[in-house]
């Protein structure tokens, strides 16, 4: 205390050596500190700095220096406390007042007060896993465009999809920086520059062409046969079929991306813990995508985001191993590493490895989710289940191989069933983020004005369950697709807006693996329907599966217990 008092007296003598009035009066010190806080707000609003030295200077050193103004009137400790309290109170107040004021660029759009003030409100709902339900509720309450953050909007208007996601649509938003923890090698899926994105995507387009798909079909064939055989060996038992489908998709993606990796189907379990690590990592990355700046600092601290870091490390290690070993077959790496010789310049190794990591995570989880939700919907609707089974039996009678794809193009009910599953349970229910590129000006998306820097999402869960787009929007009804194509007739007028169905997104940033995912689902459903009978166990409440769904950018599914019987 003696040292503090001495320092305080010296500071006072510095500001008031002759006992004359101090440099600034106490009220003026408050005014200067308040003005400094407002200036700092304007700096963050204009440039959004994230470099640690700059942020530390603005948020800590500036108010610490301003405390000297108060130290001439108060003790050093009280002066520091007063300066910090004044600075942060004014800074927070300035931010809040601006975000809810009529001067904010998004002031015209409604939304919850808490969401307008801070993105942490929406990040909380993402963390709960019920983002898809929450945002649908907001759209029902506020309309087709709703503010879900200080600089974020969600759109439910299907007429805006083409202008927002099409060839002249918005580039990717900043959420991808957060999801990938500001990786020095940006992921292809998050590339915001259009020309750079198209350059990175070229090998992916070759890898998922119709020719390449034929090369992957034997891999799908082998893994589907392995899955169905493993289920058949458990006849009469209760199995979690969602887990087994996950094993199938991860084993297949390991084959397709790296030429082999996991053997979950063989082992009947996740021996390496990959699935568990991926899911925990995706949970974290979903929140980081909403508040990207947190991800930036978490990447510097070893104990923050460790699940996400471990997930990426596992995939990176496998990708490096595959890169070093060279190709044994035409897997995805064969194209990504330019082993086909199509590119004049081979991409740098870090880019190839980064793309391999993306393929494993994006390609396995989404297909597993959609297939599990389709099976759930079929089991909840026995009439639909048996109609699909009858179509499979028609094209593949006893003794024929349902994994031979020659009849798939004529199996309209199979295609309708998959489409209906994708409509009800889109793989990315809350959509991917887009935003007008910084420095490129504001955009008009449909009838909505989107200011520069505004993160924009199209809420597919709401769009594809909107009664203005689809009759009986919350009902699993594959026949709607047959009626829309003129293959069947309905007893009532049908509302069917094909433009509102975008399960694989749209435009130059759409899902490059769509054809492979669709073929996986066709082959798996055909072989399951042909070989096995599935039913829920006695006493199981099917709604529990749907209630357990968690929207962590993509869905995370819980258990789906079924009893397996071989078909005679």
Q: Residues at the annotated binding site?
A: 511
Per DSSP, helices labelled H in 2-130 are: 2-15, 26-47, 52-56, 62-71, 76-100, 113-117, 120-128
Give the Cα separation of 204 and 510 in Å (integer). 12
- Residues annotated in a binding site for heme: 511
Pairing relationship of beta strands 433-434 and 550-552 according to DSSP bridges: unpaired
Nearest residue to 452 via CA among 11, 46, 119: 46
Token readout for 107 is 């002031």
Strand 433-434: give its sheet, edge to edge.
145-149, 152-155, 455-458, 433-434
Spatial CB neighbours of 557, under 8 Å, sequence gap ≥ 6: 242, 368, 369, 372, 373, 545, 548, 549
Nearest residue to 203 via CA among 357, 335, 323, 334: 335
Q: How many CB atoms lie within 10 A of CB 479?
A: 18
Give the Cα separation of 494 and 119 in Å (integer). 39
DSSP letters for 303-344: TSSHHHHHHHHHHHHHHHHHHHH--SS--HHHHHTTTT--SS
Give the Cα separation of 500 and 482 in Å (integer). 17
Three-state DSSP class for residue 445: strand
Nearest residue to 428 via CA among 175, 205, 78: 175
Q: CB-hemisphere CA count at 13 Å for 493?
A: 5
Q: How many CB atoms lie within 10 A of CB 440?
A: 11
Three-state DSSP class for residue 501: coil
Give the Cα separation of 522 and 516 in Å (integer). 10
Give the Cα separation of 251 and 263 in Å (integer). 6
Q: How many CB atoms lie within 10 A of CB 358?
A: 19
Which helix (H) or strand (E) segment holds residue 2: the answer is helix 2-15
Which helix (H) or strand (E) segment holds residue 198: the answer is helix 194-207
Give the Cα separation of 373 and 418 in Å (integer). 10
Question: Alpha-carbon torsion 428, 451, 179, 302, what sign?
Answer: negative
Which helix (H) or strand (E) segment holds residue 450: the answer is strand 448-450
Give the Cα separation of 295 and 307 in Å (integer). 13
Give the Cα separation of 69 and 61 in Å (integer). 14
Max intra-chain CA distance, the chain: 107
Residues linked to residue 443 through DSSP beta bridges, in sequence order? 450
């Amino acid at each position: 205390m003696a040292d503090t008092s001495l320092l305080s007296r010296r500071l006072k003598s510095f500001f008031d050596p002759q006992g004359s009035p101090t440099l600034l009066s106490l009220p003026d010190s408050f005014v200067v500190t308040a003005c400094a806080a407002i200036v700092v707000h304007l700096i963050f609003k204009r440039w959004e700095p994230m470099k640690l030295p700059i942020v530390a200077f603005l948020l800590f050193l500036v108010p610490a220096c301003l405390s000297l103004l108060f130290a001439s009137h108060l003790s050093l400790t009280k002066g520091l406390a007063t300066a910090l309290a004044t600075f942060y109170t004014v800074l927070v107040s300035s931010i809040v007042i601006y975000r809810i004021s009529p001067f904010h660029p998004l002031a015209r759009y409604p939304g919850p007060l808490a969401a307008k003030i801070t993105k942490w409100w929406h990040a909380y709902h993402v963390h709960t896993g019920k983002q898809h339900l929450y945002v649908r509720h907001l759209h029902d309450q506020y309309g087709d465009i709703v503010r879900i953050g200080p600089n974020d909007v969600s759109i439910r208007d299907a007429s805006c999809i083409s202008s927002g996601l099409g060839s002249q649509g918005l580039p990717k938003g900043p959420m991808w920086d957060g999801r990938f923890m500001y990786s020095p090698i940006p992921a292809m899926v998050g590339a915001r520059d259009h020309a750079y994105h198209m350059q990175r995507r070229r090998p992916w387009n070759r890898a998922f062409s119709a020719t390449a798909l034929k090369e992957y079909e034997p891999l799908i064939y082998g893994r589907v046969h392995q899955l169905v055989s493993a289920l058949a060996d458990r006849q009469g038992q209760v199995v979690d079929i969602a887990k087994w489908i996950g094993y199938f998709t991860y084993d297949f993606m390991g084959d397709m991306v790296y030429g082999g990796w996991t053997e979950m189907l063989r082992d009947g379990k996740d021996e390496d813990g990959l699935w568990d690590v991926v899911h925990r990592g995706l949970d974290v990355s979903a929140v980081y995508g909403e508040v990207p700046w947190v991800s930036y600092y978490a990447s510097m601290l070893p104990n923050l985001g460790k699940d996400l870091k471990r997930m990426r490390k596992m995939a990176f290690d496998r990708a490096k191993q595959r890169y070093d070993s060279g190709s044994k077959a035409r897997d995805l790496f064969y194209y990504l590493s330019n082993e086909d010789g199509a590119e004049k310049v081979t991409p740098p190794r870090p880019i190839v490895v980064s793309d391999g990591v993306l393929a494993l995570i994006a390609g396995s989880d989404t297909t597993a989710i959609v297939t599990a939700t389709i099976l759930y919907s079929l089991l909840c609707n026995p009439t639909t289940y048996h109609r699909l089974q009858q179509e499979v039996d028609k094209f593949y009678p006893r003794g024929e191989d349902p994994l031979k794809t020659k009849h798939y193009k004529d199996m309209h009910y199979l295609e309708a069933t998959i489409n209906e599953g994708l409509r009800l349970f889109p793989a990315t229910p809350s959509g991917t983020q887009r935003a007008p590129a910084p420095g490129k000006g504001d955009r008009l998306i449909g009838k909505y004005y989107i200011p520069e820097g505004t993160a924009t999402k199209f809420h597919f869960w709401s769009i594809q369950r909107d009664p203005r787009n689809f009759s009986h929007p919350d009902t699993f009804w594959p026949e709607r697709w047959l009626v829309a194509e003129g293959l069947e007739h309905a007893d009532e007028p049908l509302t069917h807006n094909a433009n509102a169905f975008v399960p694989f997104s749209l435009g130059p940033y759409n899902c490059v693996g769509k054809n492979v995912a669709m073929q996986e689902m066709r082959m798996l459903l055909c072989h399951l329907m042909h070989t096995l009978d599935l039913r829920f166990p006695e006493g199981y409440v099917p709604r529990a599966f749907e209630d357990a769904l968690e929207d962590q950018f993509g869905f995370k599914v819980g258990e789906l217990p079924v009893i397996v019987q071989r078909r005679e």
